[in-house]
C-alpha cells in the first residue's frame, strides 16, 4: 500500500484564473506536494512518470476541461486512464454545474466524491480529503491486522508441528 507520510495532489482545471486561485488557496495539514495542470494530457504525462514513487495520490479533476480546447478530454474521460495507471489513486471531481446527470455519470466511474465549485468548495474538499485518508488508514490497519493474524496462526501451527515431531521422536 502507498505511504501517507507525503501526499501528492494533482489538480487539473482549464480555467487559468481558478487554477491560480486554487494554487494560492489550497493548504493541507499533512506534508504534501501540489501539482497543477491546465490540461488532462499534461496531468497524464506527469502522473505516469510519478507512478514509481510510493506517495499516496489524490487527483482533483474539473469536470469540464474543454472550454479552451474543444477536443480535450473531460474529467470523466480521464478517470479510467488515471485508474488504469494507478488503481489506488483517489479521484475527486469538481464542477461548476449542479447537474444530476453529471453526478450519476461520476458515480458509475467511481470517483471518491463530486464537489460543486462555489463558496464552500474548499471546506467540502478538505472534508472529502480527510474522509479519503481516514478510509485509507482504516484499510491499511485492517490489512495489517489480517497479516498479524496470519503470522500468529503460522507460528501456532509451526509450534504444534514441532511439538508433535518432538513427541514422536521421544
Of 33, 4, 25, the residue nearest 130 (C-alpha)? 4
Residue 101 has pLDDT above 70, yes or no: no
Whether residue 9 is contained in a domain is answered as yes
Instruction: Return d(Cα 121, Cα 126) in angstroms, integer.
Output: 9
pLDDT digits (tens, 9 = 90+) for 44-81: 999 999 988 888 999 999 887 766 666 777 778 888 89
Mean pLDDT of all residues belonging to the chain? 85
Whether residue 162 is contained in a domain is answered as no
Instruction: Return d(Cα 128, Cα 1) in angstroms, integer.
Output: 20
Grid coordinates of 137: 488508514
Mean pLDDT on 137-153: 86
Whether residue 149 is contained in a domain is answered as no
Q: What are phi and psi of 119, to 5 degrees?
A: -65, -20
Which helix or strand (DSSP H or E) is residue 41 part of? helix 40-49
Give the structural domain span for 14: 3-144
Residue 147 has pLDDT above 60, yes or no: yes
Whether residue 50 is contained in a domain is answered as yes
Q: Is 121 left (phi over 0), alpha (psi -120 to 50) or beta?
A: alpha
Angle at CA of residue 60, ends 129 and 103, nearest 5°? 90
pLDDT band at 111 (very low <50, low <70, confident <90, very high): confident
Whether residue 164 is contained in a domain is answered as no
Residue 104 has pLDDT above 80, yes or no: no
Whether residue 137 is contained in a domain is answered as yes
What pLDDT is recorded for position 109? Answer: 60
Mean pLDDT on 162-166: 90
What pLDDT is recorded for position 97? Answer: 74
Number of domains making up the chain: 1
Whether residue 49 is contained in a domain is answered as yes
Residue 116 belongs to a domain with what CATH number? Answer: 3.40.50.2300
Pick the more confident residue, 168 or 4: 168
pTM of the predicted model over 0.85:
no
pLDDT band at 103 (very low <50, low <70, confident <90, very high): low
Whether residue 54 is contained in a domain is answered as yes
Amino acid at each position: 500500500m502507498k505511504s501517507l507520510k507525503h501526499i501528492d495532489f494533482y489538480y487539473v482545471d482549464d480555467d487559468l484564473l481558478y487554477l491560480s486561485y486554487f494554487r494560492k488557496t489550497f493548504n493541507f495539514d499533512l506534508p504534501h506536494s501540489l501539482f497543477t495542470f491546465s490540461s488532462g494530457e499534461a496531468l497524464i504525462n506527469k502522473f505516469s512518470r510519478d507512478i514509481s514513487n510510493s506517495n499516496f495520490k489524490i487527483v482533483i479533476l474539473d469536470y469540464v476541461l474543454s472550454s479552451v480546447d474543444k477536443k480535450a478530454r473531460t474529467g470523466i474521460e480521464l478517470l479510467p486512464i488515471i485508474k488504469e495507471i494507478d488503481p489506488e489513486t483517489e479521484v475527486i471531481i469538481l464542477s461548476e454545474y449542479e447537474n444530476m446527470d453529471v453526478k450519476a455519470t461520476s458515480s458509475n466511474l467511481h470517483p471518491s466524491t463530486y464537489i460543486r465549485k462555489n463558496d464552500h468548495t474548499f471546506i467540502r474538499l478538505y472534508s472529502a480529503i480527510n474522509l479519503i485518508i481516514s478510509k485509507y488508514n482504516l484499510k491499511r490497519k485492517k490489512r495489517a491486522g489480517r497479516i498479524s493474524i496470519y503470522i500468529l496462526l503460522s507460528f501456532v501451527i509451526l509450534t504444534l508441528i514441532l511439538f508433535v515431531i518432538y513427541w514422536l521422536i521421544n
